[in-house]
Every structure is written in C-alpha cells, then in structure tokens.
Amino acid sequence: MKLFSNTIQILEQGLNYSSLKQKVIANNIANVDTPNFKAKDVQFRTEFHQALQAYRTDPRHFEFKGGTSKFLVTTKNDLVYTHNNNNVDLDKEMSDLAQNQIYYNALVERLNGKFNSLKTVIKGGK
C-alpha cells in the first residue's frame, strides 16, 4: 500500500535539478572572461514534465518508472561570443539565473503546501 503520492519525490528531483542548474550558471558567470571556456547547461526539465504527466489512472496502464534523477550537464559548443573563444553570454546567464530562481521558489512553495496539507491532516483538520 502506498501512503503518499510521488509528488514529494518529484518535487525533490526538481529542487535537485534547480540546485545543480544554479551551480552550473554560477560557474559559467565566474568564467565569463576565461579564454577558451565553453558554457555548460543542465538537462532535466523534460524528464520532470514527463513524470508529472505520467499519472496512472487505471491499473491496466503501464506502470511509470519514476524516481530517476539523472541530470545531464552538457557543454555548449555551437557559438563563440568573444575573441578569446569563450561562448558565455552574460546577459543570457543572468536571465537563466533569474528564471531558475523563480522555478526553485515555485517548487519550494508547492512543497511547503504539501507539507502544510499533511500537517493539517495529522492534526485532524484543526
């Protein structure tokens, strides 16, 4: 018997993704003037959204094997922005940083809502 849904684990994976993304963006920003540095990115969001959409509504449906928190850190080799072969776009990195912060805060708010719901149930609705 399953007591809770997978929501908390999925939100945790999202937070782990956002934390890694923050580190990668910070590393890109720190190396904005480093010659031959290639910016990096983290891929996970597509798996996260698939996990959210894979809710099993009928026992005859295939079981979704969630719980994988495989994050792929990729190097961007497609563009060069500066004369020293560095491809870090500071404006894009700052924009990604702000977007990631909003994403992280939204996940934290949702997780807090889940815990508050559990707390209310444990207290008997009081």
> pLDDT, tens digit, for every residue of 90-101?
999 999 999 999
pLDDT > 70: what percent of the chain? 78
pTM of the model: 0.74
Q: What is the pLDDT of residue 25?
A: 96
CA distances (Å), 70 to each of 42, 44, 64, 80, 125, in order? 10, 7, 16, 28, 38
pLDDT single digits (tens) 39-92: 999 886 555 555 555 566 677 765 655 545 578 788 888 777 777 888 999 999
